[in-house]
Structure 1
Amino acid sequence: MVLRLLKYGLRSDYPVTGDIPVTPTLKPAYDVVIIGAGGHGLACAHYLSKYHGIHDVAVLDKGWLAGGNTARNTTTIRSNYITPQGIAFYKEGVTLYEAMSEELDFNVMFSQRGQLTFAHSEATLRSFHLRAETGRHMGIGIEVVDQKGVEALCPHLNMDYGGALEVLGGLWHPDGGTARHDAVAWGYAAQAARRGVEIHQRTEVTAIEVAGGRVQAVVTNRGRIAAGQVMIACGGMNYDMALKAGVELPIRCYPLQAMVTQPVKPWLHTLVSSVSLHTYLVQSSRGEMVIGGGSDPYQLYSTRSTLDMKEHLAEGAVHLFPFLKNLRLLRQWAGITDMTPDYSPIMGESPVDGLWLDCGWGTWGFKATPVAGKRMAECIATGRVPEILQPFALERFERFALLNEMGATAASH
């Protein structure tokens, strides 16, 4: 990768290629139709075409490529979850991110700088010890650090000694990092398109035809498409899309807001979060302070931002780092999170034959992009759900085999 970049930079004539072709004319039928041209849908198309030889694939999106939650997240990547099943899944995701730039021949700007979560109470510290033991058993990098350890990792932090929010220790996850969200999507899209996958933007699915318990076709604003198999991966609209096929999912949708400040000289070299303050921060490659927190406490299909959340996030950020108080905000945004009762995703088969689900991601869909794409492609290509996905089956709610990841978020909901 480095030598190729150097050769490219020293050339007098730069080869220009159209990585992502213009939206083609819809064919009357495809082997696979993927609903949602976000990170998950594009990743699945890439793995289908590269590793399973399935090229007759159409990726549909009512908007534009990666214009939904893929463009509305805070780019955090980690595997420090609570359940062994969740840790194993996200651990594979981190491994795939580590090799993603080589895989896609596209610099996704993966920066593995670690995540530090603060404990402001003894109870939180005890829960961190449990998470650390489980994580080490599953083979991820994770440990509990004391106050001196927190200060060494984050010297600019307000420890609030003797205060109500004194930092007593932290959960250090050196495997954590960030990547450029649009680069991830474009990299997968370009690779899939080179292998014949068609990406159809401005193509809204209005109905999913089912007959005899099997998916038959999708109906769009540009015509009907017969499909051998269909995958739903459209973020906050997953509940509504599945309902078009007669499948009701245990999902409720909530806005999740974030914001960024004006850029400043790099100083924050880890991802930091506080569950007690419902706030997390990371400094982007452009120097902006990215600030996020928990989702809004009410159901809503909206990507608007609010003043009360802006004030809440600013208050948490300034408590942790008081010198940020004079920074100006550049922008604020929101995504639509599709939450399940146990805060774990729904992946694999649906009650409709040939209809596959990649849903219920809540606040951690971006970090799962490569592993979800890889494993869902395996489902579609083989007709079998791999072992790593089986715990996330829709039927777990009928069997009460829930995977509680509610406390695993960087800023608890």
Structure 2
Amino acid sequence: GFASAAAVEGAKVFNDRAVTSIATRSGRVTGVKIRGEGLLASERVVVAAGNWTPDLVVAVGPHLPIRYVRGEVAILRRPFDFGAPPRIHFDFYGNTYSRPEGGKDTLAGYMNTDPGKTMRQYELLETLPATTVRDIRMRLTKRFPRMSEAQPRGGWAGAYDVSPDSYPILDRVGPEGLFVAVGFSGHGFKLSPEVGRLMAEYVATARRPELLESLRASRFGEGSPIQPDAPFPRRGRRLP
């Protein structure tokens, strides 16, 4: 995984530790406090703790405009004669994505999460309502008709950390030496290698890379949220 690769390059990985707060002195970061172990000293701290990031930052820096939106995932057993499934499928009009899950199942969910479906930031639902599973299957069936016979195999829902424009905040905030990577809105894992490279450059040089300019934390207060080149179709628009 990413942690193992980082360790090969010389990073120290601390597993099973809980960071309780960010330590500062005279307007500068001095490290993080670890439960039961005290201060881990550092002049620079990057908080990339997902849904826990706003709570850690607000004690020493700004309020981050993050809301917690329910992301729902269903597992469907494909018909035995379905054939080879696509490695990945995105349907902007049908508002679904899917990928194989093991040799027989398909993992599917909604691409554009409903901002009205909020939940507590640490909540995990280990089941989905049957109506939600049927809706996801119906949407997939419009692209893959054989999925009409797919059998539900469970599902779950967790909270995405969503920014006002659904793009991440990658910036230096608050006291000198504090950086955040938050608000990935469901896209964090696939973006993480490039985000890591750009944030490492930012931290090491103290100069924001040009590619991160539009992802600055201040864009919302400036009235400059990101406007996507390919927005999701308006609700109610029919499949092409």
Alignment TM class, shorter chain as reference: 0.7 to 0.9
The one of 206, 211, 215 equivalent to 2:20 is 206
Rounded to whole Å, the distance in 1 between the matches of 2:6 and 2:151 is 40
Matched-pair contact (CA < 8 Å) for 1:193–1:199: yes
Give the AA of the match of 1:386. Answer: P
Map 1:233-244; keep pairs closer than 5 Å: 233-244=48-59
Counterpart residue number, 1:171: none
Say which structure is richer in strand.
Answer: 2
Query: What's the secondary structure of 1:398's corresponding residue?
Result: coil
Rounded to whole Å, the distance in 1 between the matches of 2:9 and 2:73 is 36
Shift in CA distance, 202/270, structure 1 to aligned 2, threshold 3 Å: closer
Q: Which protein, 1 or 2, shows the higher relative CO under an 8 Å CA cutoff with sep ≥ 6?
A: 1
- Note the C-alpha offset of 1:285: 6.3
Residue 254 of structure 1 pairs with residue 69 of structure 2: yes
TM-score for both structures, normalised by structure 2: 0.82
Give the AA of the match of 1:303. Answer: L
Shift in CA distance, 197/261, structure 1 to aligned 2, threshold 3 Å: same
The one of 308, 317, 325 equivalent to 2:148 is 325
Residue 401 of structure 1 pairs with residue 219 of structure 2: no
- Note the C-alpha offset of 1:237: 2.2
The one of 155, 160, 176 equivalent to 1:353 is 176
What runs of 5+ residues in structure 1 fail to find an aligned partner? Answer: 1-185
Matched-pair contact (CA < 8 Å) for 1:270–1:282: yes
Rounded to whole Å, the distance in 2 between the matches of 1:291 and 1:321 is 12
- Note the C-alpha offset of 1:313: 1.1
Rounded to whole Å, the distance in 1 between the matches of 2:195 and 2:232 is 18
Rounded to whole Å, the distance in 2 between the matches of 1:410 and 1:217 is 44
TM-score for both structures, normalised by structure 1: 0.50
Rounded to whole Å, the distance in 2 between the matches of 1:394 and 1:410 is 27
- Note the C-alpha offset of 1:231: 0.4
Counterpart residue number, 2:100: 283
Give the AA of the match of 1:306. Answer: L
What runs of 5+ residues in structure 2 fail to find an aligned partner? Answer: 236-240
Shift in CA distance, 282/333, structure 1 to aligned 2, threshold 3 Å: same
Counterpart residue number, 1:231: 46
Matched-pair contact (CA < 8 Å) for 1:238–1:338: no
Counterpart residue number, 1:344: 167
Summarize deviations over 1:353-396 as a string: whole Å, max 9, x none: 10011111102112211110100011111111111111111111
Query: What's the secondary structure of 1:317's corresponding residue?
Result: helix
Matched-pair contact (CA < 8 Å) for 1:338–1:359: yes
Counterpart residue number, 1:192: 6
Output the aligned Cα RMSD. Answer: 2.6
Shift in CA distance, 326/273, structure 1 to aligned 2, threshold 3 Å: same
Query: What's the secondary structure of 2:42's corresponding residue?
Result: strand
Residue 306 of structure 1 pairs with residue 128 of structure 2: yes
**Count of aligned positions:** 226
Rounded to whole Å, the distance in 1 between the matches of 2:169 and 2:21 is 21
Counterpart residue number, 2:238: none
Matched-pair contact (CA < 8 Å) for 2:31–2:41: yes
Residue 379 of structure 1 pairs with residue 193 of structure 2: no
